[in-house]
Chain A
Amino acid sequence: MKIVVVNYGAGNVFSVMMALKRLGYEAELSRNSVVINSADKVIFPGVGQASEAMKQLKATGLDQLIPQLKMPVLGICLGMQLMCQDTEEEDTVGLNIFQLSVKKFVGDYKIPHMGWNNIYDLKSPLFEGIESGERMYFVHSYYVPNSEHSIAKCDYSGEFAAAIHKDNFYGCQFHPEKSADFGEKVLSNFLKM
């Protein structure tokens, strides 16, 4: 199985590579369209700032490539948010795979939403072997609202999508690569798709 982690200069790709290594997979890090197109699974990570990340995606043509991919694609954190239509973070236009608008957390809560929170209403083979209520590690200031695409929910000053799915595209707001054993289980479930 060929796993490619999209390398677009943003985010903590190394952690994802290491998590895959712990699971026994050697992944390839690439921004090359030929390499990405030849993958069986693509992971689209992301940590950082949305507008900067989109700039990088545009500069490398990945903004055109990613929405057209046919194999299972997993967007993580900012990666998931960038797969949406747009985000309130610097009013950035996203890849529009999911027709969803990313919102900023507002309210009397600490922001970023940082730490281990429960996920529930799990509705996908991505969560096979994971009980509703298990905790995953989140770090984000913007969120994807719940919709028909939600396959996991989380609550922080209101409910939001902890994971989304449409066709071959999956996204999770939490960091499976940093969510201890249950996070690694999510990654290994994704690799089985």
Chain B
Amino acid sequence: MLAKRMILCLDVKDGRTVKGTNFGNLKDAGDIVELAKRYSDEGADELVFLDITASHERRKTMLTWVEQVAEAVNIPFTVGGGISSDLDVSNLLSKGADKVSINTAALIKPALIDTLALCFGRQCIVVAIDARKEDGNWNVYINGGRKKTSYELFSWAKEAESRGAGEILFTSMDHDGTNQGFACEAVARLSEELTIPVIASGGAGKMEDFYDAFTLGKADAALAAGVFHYGKLAIPDVKRYLDSREIEIRI
């Protein structure tokens, strides 16, 4: 039976991993390749790297560390951050990234999803969505959570799927960095309405949160970062816990 996936996310800035809370207050979280290797050895099922470097050097430095990660780890990894063209994607895939995650560029030009899915296959196109619940509506944000769009989470996710997204990575900005659990209700609705896998992100704080994401949230995968970077939880413990509660998981 297909296992639920535990995905470790590393935010990257200027070639180092960082972790913020509620889309702000960045703290250094360590060397990229070292952390990637450690998480893969500890049993992470996948890794996601989001490069939030603001400078124009980003594209170049990204290719360097992506290649280093591809050399070091033997599990799949996704790369995101400022990807806006088929050339970006082709460069990253050629350096060993398995998937790319697009966010802002897809909202600015939704047809980018169609193009990328056609060129590279939908299985490597992850559409990441950052959203926040305001007055009962899940509003979609771009530019790393700084700018609100006119899009709504569920309709945008549907559109992304129909354009060729292979997976949806949904981050609840309300939950991100709070360690108070995932936005299970919204995740469950996404999972029910879509036919592609849904990754729940934002809010992991304790082992039960992962259990809830997979049961209440019906998520195909759950993504977390800070809770593992700072050693509050360890991947093998979480996996054993999930296994003991009869969640299908890779041990």
- A interface residue numbers (CB < 8 A to B): 12, 14-15, 18-19, 21-22, 47-49, 52, 78, 110-118, 135, 137, 139-141, 155-156, 175, 177-181, 183-184
Contact = CB atoms under 8 A, between A and B. Distances in A.
B169 interface: no
A141 B197 CA distance: 12
B76 interface: yes
B71 A116 contact: no
What's the interface size class on B, roughly? 20 to 34
A53 to B, nearest CB: 9
A115 B2 contact: yes
Contacts of A117: 1-3
Nearest to B220: A110
Contacts of A111: 195-196
Interface of B: 1-5, 40, 45, 67, 70-71, 74-76, 93-96, 98, 118-124, 166-167, 194-197, 220-221, 250
Contacts of A178: 74-76, 98
A140 B2 CA distance: 13
Nearest to B76: A178
12 contacts: A12-B98, A14-B94, A15-B70, A48-B121, A49-B118, A110-B195, A115-B197, A118-B1, A141-B123, A178-B76, A180-B40, A180-B75
B74 A14 contact: no
A183 B94 contact: no
Given A15-B96, A49-B118, A114 B123 contact: yes
Contact of B74 (A19, A47, A48, A135): A19
B1 A155 contact: yes
A18 B123 contact: no
B228 to A, nearest CB: 18
B45 A115 contact: yes
Contact of A49 (B3, B121, B167, B197): B121
A116 B70 CA distance: 19
A-B CB proximity, top 4 nearest: A48-B121, A14-B96, A116-B250, A116-B3
B166 A114 contact: yes
A21 B4 CA distance: 29
B118 A183 contact: no
Contacts of B70: 14-15, 18
B2 A18 contact: no
B123 A47 contact: yes
A179 to B, nearest CB: 7
Contacts of A15: 70, 96, 98
Nearest to A23: B74
A137 B75 contact: yes
A12 B74 contact: no
B76 A175 contact: yes
A146 to B, nearest CB: 17
B71 A18 contact: yes
Contacts of B3: 115-117, 135
